[in-house]
Chains A and B, each alone.
Chain A
Amino acid sequence: MNVAITIAYLLAAVLFILGLKQLSSPKGARNGNFIAALGMLVALGATLPLLHFTQAGLVIVGIGVVIGTIVGTVGARLVRMTAIPQMVALFNGVGGGAAALVAVAELLKLGAHPAFAESFPSLFSIVIGSVSFAGSAVAFAKLQELMTGTPITYPAQQVVNGVIAAAIVAFTIAASVIASVPLTFLPLLVLALVLGVAFVLPIGGADMPVVISLLNACTGLAVAATGFTLNNFALIVAGTLVGASGSLLTKLMSDAMGRSLGNILFGAFGQVRTAATAAGGGPARSVRSASAEDLGTLLAYSQRVIIVPGYGLAVAQAQHAARELADVLEKRGVEVEYAIHPVAGRMPGHMNVLLAEANVPYEQLKEMDQVNDDFKNADVALIVGANDVVNPAARSTPGSPIYGMPILNADQAKNIIFMKRSMRPGFAGIDNELMFGPKTVMFFGDAKDSLTKLVSAVKAA
């Protein structure tokens, strides 16, 4: 490889590393993204001299780049902030798909009896890229609610997945050691796609962020493997960086949810869930509910209100309505804060983004550790579409699937207004004792409508 090209790839790798470094600090995050994008431009520019275009090649590169740019820009610009997680899943999936296809093309070039060191990285990339593609597609469908977000389980699921995985390993070894026909990659491709789907199906919608992060790391590894096939430094380094940092990020995310990665991935949740639902099948218990006027008065004459936003707020696009309520309360001298659970919304940090979009002042956003001691001094904890993150069972019920998860101490507030669409349980699929508590008042309805009603009620009070 040409010296200038190698130096340019090195520069790109340095820019990627600096970009990642900046992305992980609040001050420089946006710059970090620019730096990484610059690194990408350098890597692409350095590749140009390596391309020897055929006529057809020129045409398809032109078409592909134009379509990809339009789809990417329009998709990323138009997507609503609440739908960001599934958009990331989609962009990750197409990356995995691209890695698998590049590996297929390379494998076909290798001929009938490729050396192990040449064919193995291609096969690895095909498998991991396909798993990432299919898994991301399922994650997208779950988050976009094209299919149910609850775990899909069937008997002997672990065994079936294990058999598919074993078959993939066997095929990979067979194909790279003894294969004489390049087409052995086809069954491998199909099996990997099936595994991607089967692997994500039993994982609940609430855990999708962790899954997407894991698949993101997988795509990184697939890209690195393709780099080995193509002997391309940029692919190896950038792919490996993403693979390593993505794996660590996956672990940090599951830590933030207070769960182990194994617990998230391997359906433990699903099993406990059935047990919990069976146990909770007793007679329906009654809850207190109140009119918007009563609640408006309660809020208007409080000194301190803590808003606990959850996914219900995000999905109803109610962040602006929440801000409006906070504004009218503050005008009356009420102190308002937002308590942000680390996994509020659908991804860690998602809620901060949504509230920032509604121009909520940064100082009012309190992280869990900062705000948890304040709840006992709060007159009202206003829970808007959150559930599992305020479920006291996480502290008190050792058998509960969320036991041990850090929660917001909303139950310690003097009054609790629980705004919810229905009595339906949260993603964890378990009842929330807090709803039945003596200090709790339920206010049913769409989060946005309900908040708007509260705004007028507070104004009238």
Chain B
Amino acid sequence: MTENLLNELTFFVLAVFVGFEVISKVPTILHTPLMSGTNAIHGVILVGALLIAAGADTPVNIVLGLVAVTLATTNVVGGFVVTDRMLEMFKGRRPGGAAPAGRAQGAQNQK
């Protein structure tokens, strides 16, 4: 048990650093989609909801399990779909290559 807990603490601490590092350079226009995307990822609580719901045998557990699975599924499905909808808006509007290059070109064309 104690060793297990230590392992889990290790995962936890490492994941904190990865979480900070992985999004450290995000442009402002992606703040909203990124928030929505991380929102979908914490829908992984569905795993926990399934674990408690599957074995439910008392009325209390049945109610808890049903509500938890419903809420968690809404979180996962809604989260990914709404993020995709936001990002869909950006597709194909960038004239190939990196965004800044495209912009500079656009500015020149206008002159």
B91 touches A245 (CB 8 A): no
Given A68-B74, A94-B72, are A76 and B57 neighbors across the interface (CB < 8 Å)?
Answer: no
Chain B contacts for A19, CB-based, 8 A: 37, 41
Q: A256 touching B44 by the CB < 8 A rule?
A: no
Pair B45/A240 contact, Cβ less than 8 Å:
no
Q: How far is the CB of A16 from chain B (nearest CB, A)?
A: 6
Measured CB to CB, the closest approach of chain B to A87, in angstroms, equals: 6
The 8 Å CB contact of A20, one of B23, B46, B52, B84, is B23
Interface size on B, residues (CB 8 A): 91
Interchain nearest-CB distance for A133 vs B (Å): 9
CB distance from B44 to the nearest CB of A (A): 4
Query: Min CB distance, A361 to chain B, in Å?
Result: 7
Decide if B38 touches A246 in the complex (CB within 8 Å).
yes
User: 8 Å CB contacts to B: which residues of A51-72?
Assistant: 51-54, 56-58, 60-61, 63-65, 67-69, 71-72
* Chain A, interface residues (CB within 8 Å), range: 35 or more
Interface of B is mostly: helix
- A60-B62, A105-B61, A252-B26 are contacts. A244–B17 as well, Cβ < 8 Å? yes
Residue-wise, chain B 3-30 has the 8 Å CB interface mask toward A (1 for contact) of 0110010011001111110111111111
Q: Could you tell me the distance between the alpha carbons of A29 and B31 in the complex, rounded to whole angstroms? A: 11
A216 adjacent to chain B (CB < 8 Å): yes
Residues in B with CB closer than 8 Å to A245 are 19-20, 22-23, 34, 38
In the complex, which residues of chain B have a beta carbon less than 8 angstroms from the beta carbon of A367? 28-29
With most chain B CB atoms within 10 A of its CB, the pick from A73, A87, A227, A244 is: A244
CB neighbours (8 Å) of B88 from chain A are 30
The answer on a CB contact under 8 Å between A349 and B106 is no
B87 is contacted by which of A33, A101, A253 (Cβ under 8 Å)? A33
Which B residues are within 8 Å of any A CB, using their own CB? 1, 4-5, 8, 11-12, 15-20, 22-57, 60-62, 64-91, 93-95, 98-99, 102-103, 105-107, 109-110
Query: Which A residues form the contact surface with B (CB < 8 A)?
Result: 12-13, 16-17, 19-21, 23-27, 29-30, 32-34, 36-37, 39-40, 43-44, 47, 50-54, 56-58, 60-61, 63-65, 67-69, 71-73, 75-77, 79, 81, 84-85, 87-88, 90-92, 94-95, 97-99, 101-102, 104-106, 108, 117, 209, 212-213, 216, 219-220, 222-224, 226-228, 230-249, 252-253, 256, 335, 340, 342, 347-350, 352-353, 356-357, 361-364, 367, 370
